[in-house]
């Protein structure tokens, strides 16, 4: 991922420097386990433990010849080991995938912990915003068309619960990917004791694989990448709401616009939803990772490396992008400008048409069949659409023509938007309990 969208902590997790630190750590833990069991000389552990990780540049230089990154790493690290002969016992009984999959599991869990911390903040910000607007009345829209009165906090509450569910999925996925596999070529433990795998897993705070061939099956990593894609899409859902709300014709929501900020190089009046549009674009990047990573599940027999090149690109990019998306979307909500008066004004744009559902039931209760009541209310509504005459006026006229008596006091009550706030009270009790 390019630097523009990479935040420092997550960038560090996926850096070559950190990768080689992890490779050294895993290899050292394996060596220590062998030494403790008496399988290798005890005096080789300290020199290997003290050897600094090789630089990415040095590994790349050796890989130009070996065309194998693990062998290049082992050679470069051996060059840093004093005495070099101690390095002979490094990677003892292991195969490359033991090192790669185990180190990747550490990276995935480290990345997930950063994402979970951001998810906690994201849920909290959505929760607090929903509670702050539990009485902010707006028009609800279906198909982009005015429907019934709603509450802005209700819409945000829906997003808060979606974020909380997404966090739960990510927590579950963390357990799945935090798996150590150190079982040797083809995964049969033919040259390495299963106790080594368990010891390394415990030291890393992970779990030993239930079973592995030469690689860990990629279903768990696919679950993890899918969890990230859902998070990214929830972020986009927030952003889409803001994009619609910031349209000139709507003007209910807007991104914060800082002093000195410019909206357009040509039109000085512009204040565009650029953060929301960036979120929408980057969510596509994360979703694009799902299928390529999932296609790493079916490999040839015990192992091939068709998954490897895909994961080198998509796993870091998806994690880095999701991290940035959460940062961006949380800030978007924290600083969101809500025009309460405009929301109320838009509520009245259609002359009362947003109450037709309630009016329909009231007319049914006056004694008409549902079919006749629907025809009466729809006819009044279409007249309002076409002429601009307020709905209550067209309704009275058509009801009188049909011999239907309307209870005006009752209509006043059901056409009172504040009652929607009252009805949603229990929802916000649940929102307040979100942590």
pLDDT of residue 414: 87
pLDDT of residue 308: 80
Q: Can you give the length of the chain in residues? A: 435
Pairing label, strands 253-254, 337-338: antiparallel
264 included as an active-site residue: yes
Q: 80, 54, 30, 43: which is closest to 191 by C-alpha?
A: 30
pLDDT of residue 265: 65
Neighbours of 117 (CB within 10 A): 13
For residue 366, the 8-state DSSP code is T
Q: 264, 306, 309, 357: which is the annotated catalytic residue?
A: 264
Tell me the pLDDT tens digit for each residue of 360-382. 999 998 888 999 999 999 999 99
Pairing label, strands 145-151, 137-142: antiparallel
Neighbours of 355 (CB within 10 A): 22
Task: Report how far residue 182's alpha carbon sits from residue 23's, in angstroms, rounded to the nearest whole number.
Answer: 13
Task: Report how far residue 1's alpha carbon sits from residue 324's, in angstroms, rounded to the nearest whole number.
Answer: 11
Q: 143, 259, 265, 269: which is the annotated catalytic residue?
A: 143
Tell me the pLDDT tens digit for each residue of 247-300. 999 999 998 877 777 766 667 776 888 999 999 999 999 999 999 999 988 888
pLDDT of residue 242: 97
Task: Report how far residue 134's alpha carbon sits from residue 241's, in angstroms, rounded to the nearest whole number.
Answer: 17
**Residues of the chain where predicted confidence (pLDDT) is lower than 70:** 263-266, 270
pLDDT of residue 303: 81
Three-class DSSP category at 253: strand
Percent of the chain with pLDDT over 70: 98
Q: Copy the structure tokens of residue 8.
A: 């420092």
pLDDT of residue 266: 67
Task: Report how far residue 5's alpha carbon sits from residue 227's, in angstroms, rounded to the nearest whole number.
Answer: 20
Task: Report how far residue 263's alpha carbon sits from residue 274's, in angstroms, rounded to the nearest whole number.
Answer: 8
254 included as an active-site residue: no
Paired with 337 in beta bridges are 254
pTM: 0.93
């Amino acid at each position: 991922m390019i630097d523009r969208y990479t935040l420092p902590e997550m960038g560090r997790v996926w850096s070559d420097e950190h990768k080689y630190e992890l490779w050294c750590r895993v290899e050292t833990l394996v060596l220590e386990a062998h030494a403790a069991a008496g399988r290798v000389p005890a005096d080789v552990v300290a020199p290997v433990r003290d050897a600094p990780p090789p630089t990415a540049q040095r590994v790349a230089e050796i890989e130009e010849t070996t065309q194998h990154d693990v062998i290049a790493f082992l050679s470069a690290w051996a060059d840093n080991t004093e005495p070099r002969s101690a390095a002979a016992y490094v990677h003892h009984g292991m195969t490359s995938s033991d090192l790669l999959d185990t180190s990747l599991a550490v990276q995935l869990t480290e990345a997930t912990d950063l994402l979970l911390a951001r998810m906690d903040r994201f849920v909290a910000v959505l929760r607090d915003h929903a509670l702050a607007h539990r009485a902010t009345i707006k028009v609800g829209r279906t198909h982009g068309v005015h429907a019934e009165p709603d509450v802005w906090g209700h819409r945000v509450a829906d997003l808060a619960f979606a974020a909380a569910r997404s966090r739960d999925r990510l927590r579950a996925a963390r357990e799945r990917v935090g798996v150590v596999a150190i079982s040797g070529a083809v995964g049969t433990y033919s040259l390495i004791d299963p106790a080594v795998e368990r010891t390394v897993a415990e030291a890393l705070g992970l779990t030993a694989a239930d079973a592995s061939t030469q690689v860990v099956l990629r279903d768990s990593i696919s679950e993890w990448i899918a969890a990230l894609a859902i998070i990214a899409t929830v972020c986009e859902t927030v952003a889409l709401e803001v994009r619609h709300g910031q349209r000139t014709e709507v003007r209910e929501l807007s991104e914060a616009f800082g002093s000195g900020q410019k909206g357009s190089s040509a039109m000085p009046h512009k204040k565009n939803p650029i953060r929301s549009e960036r979120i929408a674009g980057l969510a596509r990047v994360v979703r694009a990772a799902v299928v390529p990573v999932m296609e790493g599940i079916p490999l040839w027999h015990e192992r091939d490396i068709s998954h490897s090149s895909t994961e080198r690109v998509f796993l870091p990019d998806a994690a880095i992008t999701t991290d940035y998306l959460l940062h961006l979307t949380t800030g978007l909500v924290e600083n969101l400008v809500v025009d309460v008066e405009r929301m109320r004004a838009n509520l009245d744009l259609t002359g009362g048409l947003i109450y037709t559902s309630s009016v329909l039931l009231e007319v049914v209760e006056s004694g008409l069949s549902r079919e006749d009541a629907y025809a009466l209310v729809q006819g009044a509504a279409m007249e309002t659409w076409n002429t601009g005459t307020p709905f209550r006026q067209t309704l009275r006229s058509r009801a009188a023509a049909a011999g239907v008596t309307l209870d005006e006091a009752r209509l006043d009550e059901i056409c009172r938007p504040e009652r929607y706030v009252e009805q949603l009270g229990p929802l916000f009790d649940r929102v307040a309990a979100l942590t």
